A and B are shown apart, each in its own frame.
Chain A
Amino acid sequence: MDFSTDQLRRDRRDAAAAQAEALPLLRRLFGRVLDGSAGVADQPRAELLSGGVSRRRFLALGGFTVATSAVVAACGATEEGQIPQSGLASTTTTIPAYPVSDLALVRTASSLEYNVIDAYGALSSLDTMSAEARELAAFFAEQHREHAAVFEAAAEELGGNPFTRANPVVYDKVIAPALQLLANQGNPEQGIVRLAHGLETLAGATYQTVVPVLTAPALRSAAMSVGGIEARHSAMWVPFITEGAIAPELEAPAAEADTTAVSQPGEPVYAVPGPYGSLAPARVQVGTEVVTVDVPGPNSFMYPELGE
C-alpha cells in the first residue's frame, strides 16, 4: 500500500480538530432543540428524537441526517431567544401561538369535564328526558366532577392554575348549537340521549388523542383512567338509543332487522364500534339532523396564557 505516514497523521489531526469543533455545536443544537429555545415545532423535534430508545441506534440512524437537516433549517441564522418559523410549523393562523404543554392539556381536560357536566344539567332540565335517562345523567355528571378534580390537581402539580369552568370554545361551537338544534325540534328524547352518547364518545376520544402528546407517563395513565370510563359511559347510553346495538358485526342483515319500533330511522350507534378506540369525529343525530363533532384541537385548548 502506498500511504504517506505524514499525510495520514495530518488527515487524522484535521479530522480530530473538525470533530472537536463540531461536537460543541451539535451539543448546543440539541440543547436548543430539546429545551425549546430553538422554537422547533413538536413534529420535527419528535422526528429528531425518534429512535431515542437506543442511543447508539439514534446516532447511527440513516434517517438522522434528513431529520436533522429539517431542524437545522429551522434553527439556522436565528438569534438566541427568537422563534424561527419554518415550513414544518403549523400554518393555521387561527390557532393560538402558545405551546401545547401538559399544563394546557390538563386544563383543557378539566374544561371538557365541565362542558359535559353542564350539558347533563341542561339536558336533565328538559321535560322530555325520561326519569331513567335523568338518573344515568346525574350519575355520570357526578363522576365527571371527580374527573375534573383530578385534572385540576394535575394543573396545580404542574405549577399552573386549574381551569375550573366549561371550555368556552367547545360550548360555543358544540354544546350551544346542539342544544339549540334540540330545542328547534321539540327536544326529542332520542335526540337527548344521542347527544349524551356523542359527548361521552367525544370525551373518551379526546383523552385517547392527548396520550401521545403528554410528556409524562403518569399523566398519560391518568388521562386514560378517565378516558376508559368515558368509553363505558358512552356504551351505557347505547341501550337508550332506538338504533343502538352492541357492535356492527353483530347486526342482523337489513332485510331481517326488526324495524317496527323505529319511529324515525336513525343512524346506528354501537356500544363497541370496533376493536380499537376511534378518533374519528362523533356523529350525533338530533332528529333529522346529523351533527359531526370533532375531537377538540389546538384552537380549543385552554392554554395557561389565556388565564382562568
Chain B
Amino acid sequence: VDTERLHRLAEEADAEHRAAMRTFEDDLAARVFGASPEVRANRRRFVQRLGLGAGAAVLSVPLLARLAAAQETTTTLQEGNAGPTPPLAPTTEDKVLLGWSQSLELAAVAAYEAAAATGRISAEVLPVALLFRDHHRQHAQAHAAIAGKAALGQANQSVLEAFGPQIEAANNQTELLTVAFQLESVAAATYVAALGELVGTDGAALVASIIPTESRHAAVLGEVLGLSLEEQSPVFVDAEEGVSPAQFPVIAG
C-alpha cells in the first residue's frame, strides 16, 4: 500500500466516524442541554449582543415564563424538575457573562476608590468603604478565575460613566454613600438576573455566593444612611433593577 492510498483509507474511515458521531452528538446535546436548536441559536445571539450596546435589557428573568419555556422542550425530564441536569463547567456564553461581571466588579472597585479620594468620607466610615472595595476586588478575581480569557481585566467604562459623575458631584458623605448603596443594590440585582442565564453550576454557585455579600453591603450602607426599612430591605432582589451587558458594555461608546 502506498502512502497516498493509506491516506485515502484513513480519510474514508474518518468520514465514516464523523458521520456516525454527528447524530450521536446532536442526540446527546439535545438531552444534556434540553434545548431546541432555536433556543441554542437564541443563546448564541444573546452572547453576540453582549458588549455591543445594542437592544434593550436582555437579562430580565420572568420566572414562570422561563419555567414554561423549559417545560416545552422535548427532553425527558426527571419528574419534578424544570430542566435536565445542568453541566458543572461554564458554557462559552457563561464565560462571556462572567467576564462582563468582572468588569462590573472592577467598576465598583474604581467607584469606591473615587469616593475615598474625594476626602468627604469620615475617618469612621472610610475603613468600611475600603473593605467593601476589597470585597469587590476579590469578586473580580474570582470571576477571572472562572471566565478565563473572557475576563478582560478592565473596569466597566459604561458603569463608570453612569456612576462617576454622581461621585464627583457628591457634596458630602451622605450623597457618596447613597451612590454606593445604589451601586451595591444594582450589583446584587444584576447577579440575580445573571443567574437566570448561567447554565453551568460552577458559575452559578460563584454568583450565588457573591449576592449575599453585596446585599449585606447594601444593608450596612442603608443603616448608615438611616434609610427606612422598606428602602433597606425590598421584598425581593429584583432582577429587573440590574444592569445588562447590552446596556453597559465593557467598552463605552
Residues of A within 8 A of B (CB): 1, 3-5, 8-9, 12, 15-16, 19-20, 23, 26-27, 30-31, 34-36, 42, 45-46, 49-55, 58-59, 99, 101-104, 136, 139-140, 143, 146-147, 150, 153-154, 157-160, 204-205, 207-208, 211-236, 239, 246-247, 249-250, 271-272, 274-277, 304
Contacts and interface: CB of A to CB of B under 8 A. Distances in A.
28 contacts: A5-B5, A23-B24, A45-B85, A50-B89, A51-B87, A55-B32, A102-B83, A147-B235, A153-B64, A154-B63, A157-B82, A160-B80, A211-B195, A212-B205, A218-B66, A219-B67, A221-B239, A225-B237, A226-B236, A228-B192, A228-B237, A232-B233, A235-B215, A236-B233, A272-B132, A272-B135, A272-B216, A276-B209
A227 B189 CA distance: 12
B131 A249 contact: yes
Which 6 interchain pairs have the tightest Cβ spacing?
A: A101-B80, A103-B80, A218-B66, A277-B212, A52-B87, A216-B82
Interface string B95-132: 00000000000000000000000000000000110011
A218 B63 contact: yes
B219 interface: yes
Interface in B48-68: 61-64, 66-68
B213 A275 contact: yes
Contacts of A226: 236-237
A218 B197 CA distance: 8
B82 A215 contact: yes
Contacts of A246: 128, 131, 220
A19 B25 contact: no
A157 B67 contact: yes
Given A218-B61, A218-B63, A224-B208, 8 more contacts: A12-B9, A12-B12, A101-B80, A212-B201, A216-B81, A217-B66, A229-B215, A271-B219
B237 A1 contact: no
Given A99-B78, A277-B211, A218 B196 contact: yes
Prevailing SS type, chain A contact patch: helix
Contact of B78 (A49, A101, A230): A101
A274 B236 contact: no
B213 A277 contact: yes
Contact of A275 (B25, B87, B135, B196): B135
A242 to B, nearest CB: 16
A217 B90 CA distance: 13
B123 to A, nearest CB: 12
